Amino acid sequence: MQNDCEPEPSSRWSWWPSWRPTSMSLLKTAESKILSCIQTDLWARFVTLPNQERIWTLTVTNKTTSKTPLVMVHGFGGGVGLWIRNLEALSRSRPVYAFDLLGFGRSSRPSFPSDAEKAEEKFIASIEQWRQSVGLENMVLLGHSLGGYLATSYAIQYPSRVSHLILVDPWGFPERSQQHTQDSQGPDVAKRPGLPRWAKAIATVVSFFNPLAIIRAAGPWGPGLVNRFRPDFKRKFEDMFEDDTMTQYIYHCNAQAPSGEVGFRAMSESLGWAKRPMLQRVHLLPPAMPVTMLYGALSWVDSSSGERTAQIRKQAHTKVLMIDGASHHVYADQPEEFNRAVEKICKSVD
């Protein structure tokens, strides 16, 4: 694995690790253990943007194809390490890029505007500057959760760069006033699970603090808090790691100084709702742009937004697929089925 890293920058918050057992070095160590599972060619490095902000980037390739690359954008509180079950499999037929969103993971953590539109635009501008810096002409763009919201916004602004848009359990699509009850959907619609306990706990504090403030405020008890509220992450990867590697990775991703989550908070009314719902804008996607929406059948995200998107686009090149046995983290819950679905979509491009 090629790993082009730079020294960890000093910060006015550098005294915090005495209370919070975290640092960018510990995040790097946890991530390196995860990425060591990849056997194919992996290039991990910082991509520097024109404003000198840095985006932590992975490229996985077998170097035998020139097909349209797949670019994967993680969700809120995530990072490139969460794609570990997907990167190698999906890189067999084309280059795969994954990056930490600005303000998350190992990428730069700048300040974000408090205005929803301006915060969103800061994310989108960084993605476009990243694309230019990497030198990609076009891509199959895949986004999960918050990443799906941002990928859609990017595709609206830069449609010529997106060959196919894949949205995986995307956040921020429905309007709050359009919340549908199970009764209004009819008796034949299977009841979807509500928000998990960890999400409700975060939602309780999100209106007063940044969404992940509780992890930082917990200090030395923070890692245990992640293990308690997110034991599912350990289970999803238990055949790969017997210890707490994945929950440690999640902790170190989110115990750093808040940045991207500040932008997310500016964009959201609460954890489940966006101030600027994407359903109000999907009509701006070019009718000819193929869009596939993948939902976990057991997810708390309502898949009716996918059907509504298809209706708004008048069914134009829009498909909605359900992955049985998967919750919100579809790519980790049912990785083989997820990888097959994404590979089939990519083959439809070239």
Residue recorded with tokens 């859609």: 152
pLDDT digits (tens, 9 = 90+) for 265-291: 999 986 579 999 999 999 999 999 999
* In the predicted structure, residue 72 carries a pLDDT above the cut 60: yes
> What is the biggest distance separating any 2 CA atoms in the chain, rounded to whole angstroms?
58
pLDDT score for 220: 87
Kindly indicate the confidence band of residue 198, based on its pLDDT and cuts at 50, 70 and 90.
low
CA dihedral of residues 340, 344, 349, 350 (deg, nearest 10):
90
Is the CATH number of domain 24-175+194-348 3.20.20.140?
no
Q: 296 phi and psi, to 5 degrees? A: -80, 130
**What percent of the chain has pLDDT above 70?**
85
Domains of the chain by residue range:
24-175+194-348
- Ranges 20-24, 83-87, 214-218, 265-269: which has the least confidence: 214-218
Q: 191 phi and psi, to 5 degrees? A: -70, 125
pLDDT digits (tens, 9 = 90+) for 136-166: 999 999 999 999 999 999 999 999 999 999 9
pLDDT digits (tens, 9 = 90+) for 104-135: 999 999 999 999 999 999 999 999 999 999 99
How many C-beta atoms surround the C-beta of residue 228 within 10 A?
A: 12
Q: 342 phi and psi, to 5 degrees? A: -65, -40
What is the pLDDT averaged over residues 233-241? 90
Residue recorded with tokens 């595709």: 155
Q: How far apart are CA 127 and CA 290, in angstroms?
A: 20
